[in-house]
Structure 1
Amino acid sequence: MPQLTGERVRLSAVQRADVQQVQDYYQRNRQFLQPWEPLRDAHFYTHEFWMTELAAREQRLAEGAGISFGVFHQHSNELIGFCNFSNIVRGVFQACHLGYALDQRFEGQGFMSEALALGIGYVFEQLHLHRVMASYMPANLRSAAVLARLGFVREGYASRYLKINGVWEDHILTALINPDSTL
């Protein structure tokens, strides 16, 4: 399982052994994340749901289709967020989608920028991907700022792109190209 270490965070591919921390993270951040994520029913917050979901994430990692990193605080080892590289496509595309979330208590302190830099470094250097794509809702100024800091470039605007919190929301589409892409 890939593990990446930064100054204040450690990224580790989440697995079933992390189920209690994952469940605790989502329960703790339920209201905070609600405006930015799909509607979640009560089952989403259960141990059973997360055992099944983490097994699926392990399978996607084994197949090379995606990697879901848990963002762990370097000193406390607490799960404080996620950095997900999904829909990995090979062939002539060599790209993936990026999704991420951070515990409300750690927002605005640079933890997500550090975690994303580590994860992006991994998919560029180890997986040899050419492009990482990320989208965000126009109202999500924190996401806009973190992506801009990391060098993501706006490539478009998608109307009614994703169903977030029960509503089809517009998104700004961005991408980051691997600077060493000679693959």
Structure 2
Amino acid sequence: MSSQNIPASGLVTHRLTLQTLGTDDAAQLLRYQLENRQHLQPWEPFRNDEFFTLEAIKRRIEGMVHQMNEGNSLHLLIRGADGHAVIGECNFTNIVRGPFQACHLGFSVAASAQGKGLMYEALERAIDFFFGTYALHRVMANYRPENVRSGKLLKRLGFEIEGTARAYLKINGSWADHVLTSRINDKV
């Protein structure tokens, strides 16, 4: 299965549209990342100034599109009610088949969109689509212990804590512990 299974109109919720990331989205994704640079900085790897250029984002998007075409990931942009402004991202990456049948979920939301239930709405729709279309058994999502919002969101979405990994990812220049969670697809 691949991202081509998403309707041209995207995955629609009551207040949002989730659309597959494409090269024509570079300027809008760059705007989202620049506007939310400080907001997202504590939760992401260190990003130098070159990361926030149109050329760099185009290269990253080309790589993401290639991974989607290979069936190894699904990258979605979350747009608000106007259908234009990017207010978040949702990524299913590291898709592994065989006996594992799993992937990792990553997500971010604009500072201006926090606290409105939008990420819950987006992820609920994306996970339902992903489980139904990709037929994976497990989606894993990890978060820093101090990121209370992400922890509450994942719990509300049905993710269960499986443990803690010490010095799991290098975030904002330092190795950081992460809480490991997953949600099981009981339909496969």
Q: Same fold (TM over 0.5)?
A: yes
Verify: 1:55 aligned to 2:47, yes or no: no
Verify: 1:26 aligned to 2:56, yes or no: no
| 1:16 aligned residue (23, 38, 56) | 23
Counterpart AA for 2:68? L
TM-score, length-normalised on structure 1? 0.97
Q: Which runs of 5+ in 1 are unaligned?
A: none
Aligned residue pair count: 181
Paired residues of 1:8 and 1:75 also in contact (CA < 8 A): no
Verify: 1:157 aligned to 2:164, yes or no: yes
**What is the SS of the residue equivalent to 1:34?**
helix
Paired residues of 2:93 and 2:104 also in contact (CA < 8 A): yes
Per the alignment, residue 175 of structure 2 pairs with 168
Per the alignment, residue 100 of structure 1 pairs with 107
**What is the SS of the residue equivalent to 1:126?**
helix
Verify: 1:70 aligned to 2:88, yes or no: no
Paired residues of 1:72 and 1:79 also in contact (CA < 8 A): yes
Verify: 1:145 aligned to 2:152, yes or no: yes
In structure 2, C-alpha distance between the alignment counterparts of 1:162 and 1:61, rounded to whole Å: 23
| 1:4 aligned residue (7, 11, 26) | 11
**What is the SS of the residue equivalent to 2:134?**
coil
Verify: 1:81 aligned to 2:88, yes or no: yes
In structure 2, C-alpha distance between the alignment counterparts of 1:111 and 1:78, rounded to whole Å: 14
Q: CA RMSD in A?
A: 0.8
| 2:136 aligned residue (129, 133, 150) | 129
Q: Which runs of 5+ in 2 are unaligned?
A: none
TM-score, length-normalised on structure 2? 0.94
User: Which 4+ stretches in 1 moved above 3 angstroms?
Assistant: none
Q: Percent identity?
A: 43
Counterpart AA for 1:169? A
